[in-house]
Amino acid sequence: MAWTCAILTACSNLVVVPSENYNSRVDYLVIHATSENFAESLRLLTQSTTNPVSSHYLVPAPFDPTYPHNELRIYQLVPELDRAWHAGVSYWAGETGLNDRSIGIEVVNEFKCTGAIRSIQNTAPADFECEFPVYDDDQIALLIDLISGILDRFPSIDPIDVVGHSDIAILRKSDPGPLFPWKQLYDEAGIGAWYEPDTKTKCEQRFSDEPPPMLTIQNGLNRLGYQVELSGSYDRSTRYAMRAMQLHFRPSDFSGAVDTESMAIIWALLDKYRPSELNGLELSRC
């Protein structure tokens, strides 16, 4: 009540009756990689620039000569209930402009790309690619502690809605990259989503015998969360969406090609986290 009194001239006239009809405004957690060292990341995320950006948290990397402390510490840059400018043009599971409803974490990782993601063509392999340094164990341990606290404070964030920047901006972004340990976060701390291996195996067997049509695959990607046009053909939108899914859930090969394993992962994730979305698809549960 103290915060309310601070903005009212006559706090004694305030009657507080808690309503049962409300929910958190935070439904998503987005993980980014900075592509810069700590000092430059902190400057870009906190100072005015021609392209202003921010995040709620910044997680430094060890052995960074620009980092001023001996031990890794989490930096909070924006209060969790305020709107940080981290997602940009974004889409996930039917929602756009995810800045309004998400918490953003920037992880220091000095990755470099040889070209823009928009250079990917429909059929030729991506020739630009990005080189991501391996994420340090101490950095990931700090990140796990941070995310665990956030998820405790915001139970409205579902596991499938813990995403990377590349998941929500498939035409623009590749971070946090193929070396980000999504499965480690899931295995060690129950953070985020991961498929059940047995379900994936069943789906692989089914799709090997009966590959779904492209429109069904596009529907699967879309219902999982990715922005994809339901064109019925393997187009630019489908390749970008498939590539984003692979970066997160099958980083050993993220060319964007449609293959049996990728289809099986999509269906295994839907079966576990969005089972109602399987209704109406030509192929339901495996």
d(CA 34, CA 31): 10
- Which residues does 87 contact at the CB level (< 8 Å), separation at least 6? 30, 97, 98, 99, 102, 104, 165, 168, 169
106 belongs to the catalytic site = yes
- pLDDT tens, 85-143? 999 999 999 999 999 999 999 999 999 987 655 544 443 334 447 889 999 999 999 99
Res 7 pLDDT > 50 = no
Pairing of strands 95-96, 57-59: unpaired
My answer on whether 55 and 170 are in the same domain is: yes
**Domain range for residue 107?**
28-189
Kindly tell me the sign of the dihedral angle through the C-alpha atoms of 105, 111, 117, 121. Answer: negative
Residues 246 and 134 in one domain: no
What is the pLDDT at residue 11? Answer: 60
Token readout for 122 is 């429909």
Residues 252 and 161 in one domain: no
For residue 207, give the CATH number of its domain.
1.10.101.10
Per the residue annotation, which of 36, 71, 95, 106 is the catalytic one? 106
| CATH number for the domain harbouring residue 155 | 3.40.80.10
Q: Tokens 């309503």 label which residue? A: 19
Q: In this structure, what token pair is assigned to residue 52?
A: 């202003």
- Mean pLDDT for all residues in the chain: 91
Mean pLDDT over residues 211-217, rounded? 95
* Residue that terminates a domain, selected from 189, 209, 239: 189
